[in-house]
Structure 1
Amino acid sequence: MSFHTDVWVQSLDGDLLVLDSVRSELIAYLDSNALSQDVYTDLVTACTEPNAYFPLDSWSVRALFEVVARLLPKLSFAVKGVGEEMRDIWVREFTNGQISFEAGPFNED
């Protein structure tokens, strides 16, 4: 299992993914899952910069973006993640707060 995930986020409708309005809910999610609050900073970076690094396994990153999608259901966006293992590559697209497309990771049975 990989504990380093590079992430790219792309808006599908042109709207920026601004997380300020759901910051407290995301911090609560991080706390309830024993994740560092520094992950919130990584999340903001992923939504505002060309790419970001998460010191988390891909499963945790995918789960985090599912929470973002539920909290911001009016935003449509795609996320691509690449972990340390060659086949730890995945893509998720979110529309109306839910996954609308998914592929990978290809390293899991």
Structure 2
Amino acid sequence: MTKHYRTRLEFTWDDSQYQDGDFTPQKLEPVVTEWLAQHGFDPNTTHDFDATVDEPFSYGFTGMTSEQLIALLVHIASAFPDVHFYARGAGESFGDMWLREFHKGKTIFSAGPYQTGNQEIEKKRGWFDRLFR
């Protein structure tokens, strides 16, 4: 199921092996802007990364699916292979949660997004429900 709404993102990094000293959010801007333009997204989405660094898990990335946001993070990681990145995302849907870890420009850990789609999930009856059968 494709998600087209806002996503909360926590995005951090370890720059201890970064050749150019401290890695700052400003270094993300040209890489993010280029990717957004190539994929037809609103260029103002770049500001969502600023908000994510200042206020982790704030909502942003409106109009992007989880998969598209993850693809953007893969692009960022490949642009800065000396930086170790960690990302945790959660969409508005209960199961739309995911984790990614990038090292040397590659995904080294991946979990989710977990999505139940439109399928009905049978609710298990608890002890209280059984009293009234």
Say whether the 8 Å CA contact 2:11–2:88 is kept in structure 1. Answer: yes
Say whether the 8 Å CA contact 1:17–1:47 is kept in structure 2. Answer: no
Alignment of 1:7 with 2:15, yes or no, is no
Give the distance between the partners of 1:82 and 1:17, measured in 2 at CA: 25
Which among 7, 23, 29 is matched to residue 23 of structure 1?
29
**Identity percentage of aligned residues:** 25
Q: How does 1:30-41 map to 2 (within 5 A)?
A: 30-41=36-47
Unaligned runs of 5+ in 2: 118-133
Say whether the 8 Å CA contact 1:18–1:47 is kept in structure 2. Answer: no
Shift of 1:11: 2.2
Call closer, same or farther: CA 1:10–1:21 in 2, change over 3 Å.
Answer: closer
Bigger-Rg structure (1/2) = 2
- Secondary structure of residue in 1 paired with 2:67: helix
Which among 46, 49, 52 is matched to residue 58 of structure 2?
52
Give the distance between the partners of 1:76 and 1:95, measured in 2 at CA: 5
RMSD: 2.3
Shift of 1:87: 0.7
Alignment of 1:71 with 2:79, yes or no, is yes
Alignment of 1:89 with 2:89, yes or no, is no
Give the distance between the partners of 1:36 and 1:18, measured in 2 at CA: 22
Give the distance between the partners of 2:25 and 2:116, measured in 1 at CA: 30
Give the distance between the partners of 2:15 and 2:29, measured in 1 at CA: 22
Give the distance between the partners of 1:102 and 1:89, measured in 2 at CA: 11
Q: Which amino acid aligns with 1:6?
A: R
Aligned length, in residue pairs: 109
Call closer, same or farther: CA 1:11–1:107 in 2, change over 3 Å.
Answer: same
TM-score by length of 2: 0.70
